[in-house]
A and B are shown apart, each in its own frame.
Chain A
Amino acid sequence: MHPFDAVRARSVVKTFGDVIALDGVDLDVAAGQIHGLVGPNGAGKTTLLGLVLGLAAADAGTLEILGMPMGRALSVADGVAGFVDGPGLYPTLTARQNLMTLLALRGERTSRSREVDELLGRVGLAEVSGDAVRGFSLGMRQRLGLAAALLGGPRLLVLDEPANGLDPAGRRQVHDVLTDLADSGATVVLSSHRMDDLASLCDEVTLLSAGRVVFSGPVHKLAAESGELDYRLITSDPEGARGVADGTPSLRRVTARNGSRQGDEQALVVRGPEAALDRLVAQLIGAGIAIRELGPVVPPLEAAFLALTGTEADINAEETTR
């Protein structure tokens, strides 16, 4: 017996009028995996998550959720939970009432009320469980939405930007909950704009751009797609460093844009392969120029994102003449 895919999409197309939101999307999410969806605004992430949740039907292609083909009718498969475009909560109800009414919907009010308290504790809302949701911050709502999605132990959890509005502690808490869920065998599909979130949480990511999949695979492979990176150096002699950089083969010097970090007028930003950067460092040291700071302008995952989605030109630097 083979492990099956929790989500399996083939050539999925979804349009809204003249707008093609998804254009032949293939997606495989193995059961038990935390899978990230990433892409620029309008790439089709939310639409894809909506299809997985059964909130809409694809115009073409096939979509199987937990092994079941999704039909044309709007319906959410059993064992699937989650939210897109923020959690749906009722502000006039308390946090506990929001979850209890969901339990009541499933006819489990009395037998599972302890689960509600446990879930509220897991997402750090035990102390405010009796407060009306109207007074909750965005982060608290996100956590309560996660708790609502976890009610009943879903086998596939679909979350759209679950870390939105969360402080670092809240983000850590959500990460722990999702990791525990995946460890228990459930599948998590989430979208995020935060590449660091995806890197620390996901086994695999799918990168969407303009409704098409431009990458799908392990996170470390995405980093390899970043190509040449820009590196930022702060040295003891900026003028001298620029001269050395200009004389280094395979290395281009780029200038920082307006709005760059404080002190960037003193920074040297170069682009080229790692070998060329190594040579530059050696030459700077040889020339008696101290290197005070060295790092990529854009982290590798983010750079890969920008390169693959064609938005590289938007990075915080632009090429100039050597």
Chain B
Amino acid sequence: MTAIVGVPLVRTNPVALSRGYRFEMVKLVSQWRIRLLMVACLIAPAAYSAVVSQQTSLPTDAVYGRLMNQSGWAGSLAILVFLGTLLLPLLTSVVAGDIFAVEDRLGTWRHLLVAVRSPRRIFVSKALAALTVILVLLVCLMVSSTTGGLVSVGSHPLPGLDGHLIGSAELARTVVLAWLTVVPPTLAFSAVGLLGSVALGRSPLGLLAPVALALVLMGVQVMPVPVALRVALPTNAFIAYRGLFTDPAQLGPFWVGLVVSLSWTVLATLLAYRLFVRRDFTDLANDGSSRLVLRGFAPLAVLVVVTTVVVAATTGATGSGIEKAKVEAALSTSFSNLYVLQTDQLNRPPVTVSQLGTTTSCEKGGSRVTDEGAGAGWRCTVTWTLPGTTAVGTAIYQLEIAPEGRYVADGDGPKEVNGFFQVRTPAGDAPNPLWQFDGVVDLLGS
């Protein structure tokens, strides 16, 4: 037998973080489902955008869905709506929700620890790799949806959510910004995915933690909850981009969403990290699923309470955030901008928004119902005057307002103004911008 003599004492040298990150990336990219997901993200949005924009029936439920046949940018924005509801949480589930659990399934934790020599670096490498793949998938979705729309319809101006016309160049910038605004909530859901993957191990609930969370929060969002709670949920950050499509931009929801999303990201990541580095890797039977779920997720519930209180205190927002005055102001602005647009379409003498002096009067569900909150019972009368005349124009709208502030205004006449879906222009029939349109009520505005 050979004895080793005089060998110096050994040290523990964890592998470099960059190499651990590459190792995790290789493993992720070698998975077929990740490859398929990437291909799907590259093809499906483009195909959807290209096909749907050529249809007569458009997805009017989605903001900008009704305008998909008018500009290629609308397709990208309509897809952004679908992403925020469930698709992005699902993507984070598939990638981040499985990044730790996969090692439990394969029984490779010990191998990984021996190879990397540092649980901390394993955690960071895995988190960064998952984040990279998720962001790449997000970029694929953005490029695909935009390309599909632009190729099939082309780059044309679109009205904003307050009716002002946004030119193609500004639209391009705003659409890219809109996609960037979903990065923070995507990070938040990715962090929840990491937490689920660490805390619940092989359990399917661990894999689906982001989706389960999204479903719960969506359930909360459709209820008549106080506006402070609504905007303090990370799902609200997915729709904060709507504020970019008004002039001036309604940035309140975006900033709140950014702070909320980053808070969720940091807290969920720290919780996942703490659970991970304390895990006993010699106990194969313990994949974390026996750990108290409350220990992992309860602090997130506390975060919701804290952020709700902070939002309420800093913005002074109370109730649903959908009040009569706000609705009237939003509809007046949208109508004025769209009327200018329609005037231009019809080749009439140009008018400006200030010349119209538009005022709106709204009520909800008759005299017995408070004029406040979401619902389909809003009825508004818009009045305006044209320069050089004393006659007052009047138009009726039925409004359906969603709890998160988006409304659909449905023109109820007169026919010449907003009662018909088309207008006769010198170049032929064209969609009537005043007939049906999307708008947004600033929930945090005063």
Contact = CB atoms under 8 A, between A and B. Distances in A.
Interface of A: 1-4, 6, 14, 16, 30-33, 46-47, 50-51, 53-56, 65-68, 74-93, 97, 101-102, 104-107, 145, 148, 155, 182-185, 187, 203
A90 B1 contact: no
Given A87-B111, A101-B23, A105-B15, A68 B9 contact: yes
B4 A32 contact: yes
Given A55-B110, A76-B114, A83-B111, A92 B27 contact: yes
Given A88-B109, A101-B23, A105-B20, A32 B10 contact: no
B110 A105 contact: no
Q: List the 7 closest pairs (A to B, CB-CB), nearest first.
A: A88-B111, A88-B108, A3-B3, A50-B282, A56-B282, A31-B4, A92-B30
A85 B286 CA distance: 14
B110 A88 contact: yes
A105 B114 contact: no
Contacts of B23: 101, 104-105
A47 B9 CA distance: 24
19 contacts: A2-B5, A3-B5, A4-B5, A31-B4, A32-B1, A46-B282, A53-B113, A54-B117, A85-B284, A88-B109, A88-B110, A90-B30, A92-B27, A93-B26, A105-B19, A155-B4, A155-B7, A155-B10, A203-B1
Nearest to B285: A16
Contacts of A102: 115
Nearest to B112: A88
A3 to B, nearest CB: 4
A4 B281 contact: no
A80 B284 CA distance: 21
A106 B15 contact: yes
B114 A53 contact: yes
**Max chain A CB contacts within 10 Å: which of B12, B108, B119?**
B12
B55 interface: no
Contacts of A68: 9-12
Contacts of A87: 111
Interface in B107-147: 107-119
A66 B12 CA distance: 11
B10 to A, nearest CB: 5
Given A53-B110, A90-B106, A92-B30, 16 more contacts: A32-B1, A32-B2, A32-B3, A54-B117, A67-B10, A76-B12, A79-B10, A80-B10, A81-B114, A84-B282, A90-B108, A93-B26, A97-B30, A101-B23, A106-B19, A107-B19
A242 B119 CA distance: 64
Contacts of A78: 10-13
B117 A104 contact: no
Contacts of B22: 104
B282 A101 contact: no
Given A74-B119, A89-B111, A16 B280 contact: yes
Contacts of A88: 106-112, 114
Contact of B281 (A65, A74, A91, A148): A74
Given A30-B1, A78-B10, A106-B19, A92 B283 contact: no
B377 interface: no
A77 B12 contact: yes
Given A47-B282, A77-B12, A79-B10, A90 B27 contact: yes
B233 to A, nearest CB: 36
B15 A182 contact: no
Contacts of A81: 114
Contacts of A51: 282
A156 B110 CA distance: 16
B14 interface: yes
A163 B129 CA distance: 35
Q: Main secondary structure on chain B at its contact with chain A?
A: loop
A107 B116 CA distance: 12
A105 B282 CA distance: 23
Contacts of B111: 83, 87-89, 145, 148
A46 B118 CA distance: 20
Contact of A67 (B1, B9, B113): B9
B169 to A, nearest CB: 44
Interface string B139-180: 000000000000000000000000000000000000000000
Contacts of B16: 107
B108 A89 contact: yes
Contact of A75 (B12, B31, B110): B12
Contact of A93 (B4, B5, B30, B114): B30
B30 to A, nearest CB: 4
A78 B26 CA distance: 24
Interface in B200-241: none
Nearest to B283: A16
Nearest to A108: B19
Nearest to B31: A92
Contacts of B428: none
A83 B3 contact: no
A51 B111 CA distance: 14
Given A67-B10, A77-B12, A90-B108, A182 B1 contact: yes
A320 to B, nearest CB: 41
A182 B109 CA distance: 27
B366 interface: no
A101 B24 CA distance: 10
A187 B23 CA distance: 28
Given A16-B280, A75-B117, A105-B19, A84 B11 contact: no
Contacts of B119: 74
B319 to A, nearest CB: 51
A66 B7 contact: yes
A91 B12 contact: no
Contacts of A184: 2
Interface in B247-292: 277, 280-284
Given A16-B283, A56-B280, A75-B12, A105 B3 contact: no
Interface string B172-204: 000000000000000000000000000000000
B6 interface: yes
Interface in B86-109: 106-109
Contacts of B3: 3, 30-32, 185
Contacts of A50: 110, 281-282
A101 B26 CA distance: 8
Nearest to A21: B282
B110 A74 contact: no
